Structure 1
Amino acid sequence: MGQPDMQPEGPLGDPAGRTLPPGDWAEPAARLDELYRWVEQGALRTADRYLADRLRRRRAANVLRGGTAAGVVAGAALPLLSAAGAVSGCAPWGYLALLLAVACAGADRAFGLTSGLLRDTVAAEEVVRRLRTLQFDWAAECAREMLGPAEGTAAEAVERCLGILRRFSEDVADLVRTETTEWLLDVRAARPPLALHTRPRHDPPPVAGRPFVPHSGPRPNMPRQRPPEPR
């Protein structure tokens, strides 16, 4: 059960919900190496996916932050130049520049570019850190097998190795799920609250000599009472 050289093959961005690769357990050591290679490649693809997303977010965030800074500077400078008489008729362009700055800042917040950039960086570093832990744990199991198992059978050693791979896969899946949940919360927090649409109430006009009582709903239909009969 030697530790193979792990280099990711094929396109990056491994889709979620992968299934275990088929294989034969006639040779447990080769099968365990195959499963280790599969788990490690999945972790590398996950880290590369976060790094690629981080690069895209950084480019878009830099453009929006640059637009915000340029809009603020232009919005503050153009009215001053117009008031000083250096440039005539540029005050409206200053207000437009301020509007552009607000739009760029709002787009950055609405799409979660800056916050997503930080989350992608942290997520990629966490995946790599967990992968290093897996590699050391796997090396320890390989060394234990080469030196000879001090306790337990070969079946127990295989089960122990499978447990290491399973815990690592679940840990990475929990990390991805937590990051996705935080992204959804940020997107929902950046959206403006929906206005509550209520039906207007039609209150009757006030009558002189009668107290005004606002109409709060349909009036109950009360049964009419017959006047008392004269005796």
Structure 2
Amino acid sequence: MPASAFQIPVYFDYLATFAWALSGAVVALRKRQDIVGVFVLALLTSMGGSILRDGVFLQRTPPVLTDPVYLPLILTATLLVALLRRRIAHLPVVNRLVGTIDAFGTPAFAVVGMQLALGAAIPLPGVVLVGAVSGVGGGVLRDMIVREVPFILQPGQFSALIVLLACAVFLGLTLAAGLAAEVAAWTTIGVAFVARMLTIRFDWRTRPLLDAD
């Protein structure tokens, strides 16, 4: 990645990873999985997007294998949920924490994925796909593992549309408007965060294309 490219602040990266690992571990706990299942779901939720992005699309080594902090961080989240399982399983604060981190983290990781895809000379539709997978791939893997319809495929609060909005804004600002990647990235994160907060505040939702009989 070029020196001028946007990079997620390292402490926010670790905080987002820890929060997403917590959310995956709590889902595993509610599904009555053992400690191995809790760890696997925490790992997939927090790092699944980058694993798919790098391992499948870009043929790079995923950061979970190169940064020595990620696995201990995910293990810590796993052990914390295991130790506090009777208290933490239904705490609303966990969902609120993950939701706030997600509103910032999803567009940020989508931007990083798009930059990597642009650097690999992938055509623009593929750049958007890589960005979307980078942002939401972990949640999709989590839902598939526990045999649920992935959240981005269900009617809900515009989650998939906001990711696509973030991708479109970043590409428009960098490729069409010529803004520096850092400026474009923070603008994109701000737009996506405001859009996400508005959907929550006013409960804007998509609807099924076909109503139930």
> What TM bracket, shorter-length normalisation?
0.3 to 0.5
TM normalised by structure 2 equals 0.33
Structure with greater helix share of residues: 2
Q: Name the TM-score, length of structure 1 as normaliser.
A: 0.31
Q: Report which of the two structures shows the higher radius of gyration computed on alpha carbons.
A: 1
